[in-house]
Amino acid sequence: QEEAQAIDQELFTEYKFSVDQLMELAGLSCATAIAKAYPPSSFTTSQPAVLVVCGPGNNGGDGLVCARHLKMFGYEPTVYYPKRPNKPLFEGLTTQCQKMGIPFLPEFPAEAALIDELYGLVVDAIFGFSFKGAVREPFGTILGTLERITVPIASIDVPSGWDVEKGKADGLQPDMLISLTAPKKAATHFAGRYHFLGGRFVPAALQEKYALNLPAYPETDCVLQLT
Partner 1 sequence: PIPVSSGQAFPLPSLPRKQPTVLVVCGPAQNGAIGLVCARHLRIFDYEPTIFYPKRSPDPLYRDFTTQCEKMDIPFLSYLPTEVQLINDAYNAVVDAVLGAEAEAGEGRGPCAAILATLKHIRIPIVSLDVPSGWDVEAGSSGGISPDVLVSLAAPKQCARRFLGRQHFVAGRFLPYDVQKKFELNPPEYPGTECVVALRAPR
Residue 122 half-sphere exposure toward CB, CA atoms < 13 A: 31
Alpha-carbon torsion (63, 66, 72, 77), positive or negative: negative
Q: Does 99 sit near partner 1 (CB under 8 A)?
A: yes
For residue 182, what are the contacts with CB-CB under 8 A and spacing of at least 6?
4, 7, 197, 202, 210, 212, 214
CA angle 45, 95, 54 (to 5 degrees): 55
Judge contact between 27 and 69, C-beta under 8 A: yes
Interface residue with partner 1, options 103, 140, 205, 209 (CB under 8 A) = 205
Minimum separation from the CB atom of position 192 to partner 1 (A):
21
Minimum separation from the CB atom of position 205 to partner 1 (A):
7
Q: Does 210 sit near partner 1 (CB under 8 A)?
A: no
The residue among 75 and 190 lying less far from partner 1, judged by its C-beta, is: 75
Q: Does 203 sit near partner 1 (CB under 8 A)?
A: yes
Minimum separation from the CB atom of position 33 to partner 1 (A):
9
Site size with partner 1, rule: CB under 8 A = 22
Minimum separation from the CB atom of position 69 to partner 1 (A):
8
Q: What is the CA radius of gyration of the chain?
A: 16
Q: Does 43 sit near partner 1 (CB under 8 A)?
A: no
The residue among 28 and 186 lying less far from partner 1, judged by its C-beta, is: 28
Q: Does 200 sit near partner 1 (CB under 8 A)?
A: yes
For residue 191, what are the contacts with CB-CB under 8 A and spacing of at least 6?
173
Name residues contacting partner 1, limited to 72-91 (CB under 8 A): 72-73
Q: Does 42 sit near partner 1 (CB under 8 A)?
A: no
Distance, in Å, from the CA atom of 31 to the CA atom of 208, rounded to the nearest integer, reads 27
Q: Does 101 sit near partner 1 (CB under 8 A)?
A: yes
Q: Which helix or strand (DSSP H or E) is residue 178 part of?
A: strand 176-180
Interface residue with partner 1, options 1, 45, 96, 173 (CB under 8 A) = 96
